[in-house]
Structure 1
Amino acid sequence: MRVLHIGKFYPPYAGGIERFSADLCAALAARDVGVAMLAHASPGSRAARSFREDGVDVHLAACHGQLLYAPVSPSFPLLLSRLIDEFAPDLLHLHMPNTSAFWALLSPAARRLPWLVHWHADVPLDVRRHAVRAMYSLYRPFEQALLRRADRIIATSAPYRDTSIALAPWSSKTHVVPLGIGESPPANSSAEKMEIVAKDTSAQSIAWPGTGLRLLAVGRLSYYKGYDVLLRALALTPEANLLLIGSGECEAGLQALARELGIEQRVCFAGHVDDAQLALAYAQAQVFCLPSIERTEAFGVVLLEAMRARLPVIATTIAGSGMGYVVADGASGLLVPPGDAAALAAAIRRLGDDAALRMSFGEAGQARWRSRFTLDRCADRVLDLYCALLPENRRPAAARPTRSPTQARSGERGG
């Protein structure tokens, strides 16, 4: 079995979809699947690149920039045609949203193959950028043509599937396969999750901004992440301090807000950090928070990272988002209304005042990750869908037997 994945970007480009897609490709390669990935180089990279990583043949098309989040890459359709000819895939796995995936609609060679569309997120129509909403009228016909042509569609959670206007006409072929992450890096796997004081990490590069409750947030500094709400909640909880990892277009505004609120001494804007520093931050934190305010937050892979690290989590109850699907409210974390700084502050205080509750939530969260959201579980379910699309002689020798249609409906589509 040979599968060509078509993505938007690829690590080290920062992003949850990018990291997951790379990890999934590596996990499938470990299951005797021949895997290639076609994506774009980072915006502004005008040279194409090809390399092999973790058993995956990676091909990155030159990218001159982005227009309303869409990569500008004139060479992408030519590279797609070349890879279909040279790699000879048995099927295409298209990660959406990604305007460049639309080129498959115009490729006779691509249209002769089975397609699996991985629906990571809708194009959000409630975003603040009016141009995005205006351009969707042009985007939607291609989006629907792609979904119509797909043999199978993966949604990452049942709530997202059930509230997606784009997926509504295609529910009969849409299967729920939650995202998953692997084990912690070996270098950090022996570290026990415990209450670690900041002075014990003086030799490390992660610097907590105070000695109170250590609150961690990780993600791109974009408006829909709700970090302005988190800062306002922090102003109401003087017993807490915040380490905010990530960069983005809202960074300067958030720093200005921290100064305005008088909490700049309790907030550390760490920017981008490497994997070792990120693992250290998860190990030392006491509470994790993802305060997103819009359905643009489709799943929240960072919630899985926090749960894996036995951290209690606080997230928001956005209708149709997968966050409420990932977090078991009152068992592995707390869910609060989006945009409500007072409710968020109350959740922070509740966890800050109760070490036993933090430990209970952390243990339950890690157990929930292991039972539902591991990378192995996700890769096995994706491989099941591949096998259902291909004749037996094209399946990898290591593939598990394909489940019956009844089992597939109850397992894959049931969430």
Structure 2
Amino acid sequence: MSKILHVYKTCYPETQGGIEQVIKNLSKGLLELDQNVRILALSDEDKVVNYQGVEVVFFKRTFSIKSNCFSLSMLKNIKPHFDWADVINFHYPWPSGDMFIPLIDKVKPIVVTYHSDIVRQKLLRIVYSPLEKYFLKRADAIVPTSQNYLKSSTTLASYKEKCSVVALGVDFEEYTAVDTVIRESMEEKVGRDFFLFVGVLRYYKGLQYLVEAAKISNCPIVIAGKGPEEKRLKEYVKQNQLSNVHFLGFVSEAEKNALLSLCKCFVFPSFIRSEAFGVSLVEALYHGRPIISCDISTGTSFVNEHNLTGYVVAPADSQALATAMINMNEDKRYLEFVDNARTRAESLFSYQTMAESYLDIYNSLLSDES
């Protein structure tokens, strides 16, 4: 049994984003493989919780600048956790987390799960670049989430010899049962055979192009989620009198599953490299839903394979999205896409497969150390 320490700025049950979901699923898989797992993250206060059998140690957040947060409490108290661990797994990007590297014994293996390049924060990137180089150079293994991202990342180009790709995995047990009462309630609200987006309404999600595509195509669109782009999107829909676009706001996991069972297709219009993989794409595949996504040279085009599980179209192109939605309604291969979607999800993206691959990496590093 090895002691595995995960380090990231946020974690379940406090926040529930994509990276947090990956850490949760990876930890669950490692526990099932008889590993000892601990997670370090930030919160509004110092505390320790047990979440699904995993010890999660939260340190009080001192300040945040944009999406980067820092904790003096973590800086003061993290060393014993590093000493406890056999392997330390950082989740990148989190620039403040890189500062803890000098506190780690030089012979202790460090793994970096590389979720995404730093894309929009250009000033931060200039300031952060020397620390980033030190951090990635010190890492013993770097784990991108797809070959597409590894090939297209200028940051990873200097570290390819230490990269091992492992696809992200999800826990399909969370999606097996659709509540019939909730499904009926959702159907009363939005009908069925609509084009669905579920996620945080952020700039890089490309939802401005989706609502423009709704105007062009007149296809029914359902957008579930909240976020900083919500007001602007709703103003566009109101100004253009688009009765075919419905905003549901935040939805629960059960409501999301119901929507996935009702929709015609899942649409994922993210248009820049901040979208490195898209765990929600795997969820859609598992529900047997074809996908329309954009070619941004990341893992999204690995999850959704063009003409096998749906369409991959040009990014930041509302006309391309509109055409794809119209074609999806008419494509005689639709039922093939449905069958291929579920098969691809189960064969490539289980959390068990992800955990086994990570354990192979950990064990390889530990054997090299000994």
Which TM-score band (shorter chain)? over 0.9
2:172 equivalent to 1:171: no
Aligned-partner residue type, residue 6 of structure 1:
V
Unaligned runs of 5+ in 1: 193-199, 395-415
Q: Aligned partners of 2:164 and 2:183: how far apart in 1?
A: 47
- The secondary structure found in structure 2 opposite 1:175 is coil
Q: 1:299 aligns with which of 274, 277, 280?
A: 277
Query: What is the TM-score when the length of structure 2 is the normalising length?
Result: 0.93
Q: CA deviation at 1:100?
A: 2.9
- The secondary structure found in structure 2 opposite 1:339 is coil
2:61 equivalent to 1:72: no
- The secondary structure found in structure 2 opposite 1:276 is helix
Q: Aligned partners of 2:71 and 2:225: how far apart in 1?
A: 26
Is the Cα–Cα contact under 8 Å of residues 3 and 91 in structure 1 kept in the other structure? yes
Aligned-partner residue type, residue 147 of structure 2:
A
Q: Aligned partners of 2:196 and 2:112: how far apart in 1?
A: 33
- Structure 1 residues 276 and 110, CA, compared in 2 at 3 Å: closer, same or farther? farther
Superposed CA offset, 1:128-184 (max 9, x none)? xxxx20121111111111111111110111111112121111111101111111214
Q: Aligned partners of 1:27 and 1:350: how far apart in 2?
A: 39
2:13 equivalent to 1:15: no
Q: Aligned partners of 1:89 and 1:352: how far apart in 2?
A: 52
Is the Cα–Cα contact under 8 Å of residues 293 and 300 in structure 2 kept in the other structure? yes
Structure 2 residue aligned with 1:328: 305
- The secondary structure found in structure 2 opposite 1:75 is helix
2:246 equivalent to 1:250: no
Q: Aligned partners of 2:300 and 2:267: how far apart in 1?
A: 12
Q: Aligned partners of 1:331 and 1:18: how far apart in 2?
A: 29
Aligned pairs (5 A) from 1:229-378: 229-238=209-218, 240-263=219-242, 265-318=243-296, 320-354=297-331, 356-378=332-354
Structure 2 residue aligned with 1:408: none
Structure 1 residue aligned with 2:56: 58
Superposed CA offset, 1:94-123 (max 9, x none)? 10001232132221x444411011111111
- The secondary structure found in structure 2 opposite 1:217 is strand
2:6 equivalent to 1:5: yes
Q: 1:97 aligns with which of 89, 93, 100?
A: 93
Q: 1:158 aligns with which of 143, 147, 170?
A: 147
- The secondary structure found in structure 2 opposite 1:390 is helix
Q: How many percent identity over aligned positions?
A: 28
- The secondary structure found in structure 1 opposite 2:232 is helix
Q: CA deviation at 1:68?
A: 2.4
Is the Cα–Cα contact under 8 Å of residues 209 and 267 in structure 1 kept in the other structure? no
- The secondary structure found in structure 2 opposite 1:344 is helix
Aligned-partner residue type, residue 123 of structure 1:
I
Q: 1:117 aligns with which of 112, 117, 134?
A: 112
- The secondary structure found in structure 2 opposite 1:262 is coil
Q: CA deviation at 1:201?
A: 5.8
Q: Aligned partners of 2:261 and 2:182: how far apart in 1?
A: 15
Query: What is the TM-score when the length of structure 1 is the normalising length?
Result: 0.84
Structure 2 residue aligned with 1:189: 176
Structure 1 residue aligned with 2:124: 135
Superposed CA offset, 1:332-355 (max 9, x none)? 11011011111111111111234x
Q: Aligned partners of 2:293 and 2:77: how far apart in 1?
A: 40
Q: Aligned partners of 2:252 and 2:48: how far apart in 1?
A: 23
Q: CA deviation at 1:206?
A: 3.1
Q: Aligned partners of 2:344 and 2:320: how far apart in 1?
A: 25
Q: CA deviation at 1:266?
A: 2.4
Q: 2:198 aligns with which of 218, 222, 231?
A: 218
Q: Aligned partners of 2:191 and 2:252: how far apart in 1?
A: 24
Is the Cα–Cα contact under 8 Å of residues 105 and 111 in structure 1 kept in the other structure? no
Is the Cα–Cα contact under 8 Å of residues 2 and 34 in structure 1 kept in the other structure? yes
Superposed CA offset, 1:379-406 (max 9, x none)? 1110100110114999xxxxxxxxxxxx
Q: CA deviation at 1:204?
A: 5.1
Superposed CA offset, 1:209-249 (max 9, x none)? 554631110111111101010001111222x3222122111
Is the Cα–Cα contact under 8 Å of residues 208 and 268 in structure 1 kept in the other structure? no
- The secondary structure found in structure 1 opposite 2:305 is coil
Is the Cα–Cα contact under 8 Å of residues 157 and 176 in structure 1 kept in the other structure? yes
Is the Cα–Cα contact under 8 Å of residues 200 and 226 in structure 2 kept in the other structure? yes
Structure 2 residue aligned with 1:84: 82
Aligned-partner residue type, residue 341 of structure 2:
G
- Structure 1 residues 392 and 56, CA, compared in 2 at 3 Å: closer, same or farther? farther
Q: Aligned partners of 2:191 and 2:264: how far apart in 1?
A: 12
Give the number of aligned pairs: 368
Is the Cα–Cα contact under 8 Å of residues 287 and 358 in structure 1 kept in the other structure? no
Q: CA deviation at 1:73?
A: 2.0
2:360 equivalent to 1:384: yes
Q: Aligned partners of 1:110 and 1:78: how far apart in 2?
A: 16
- The secondary structure found in structure 1 opposite 2:30 is helix
Q: CA deviation at 1:362?
A: 1.6
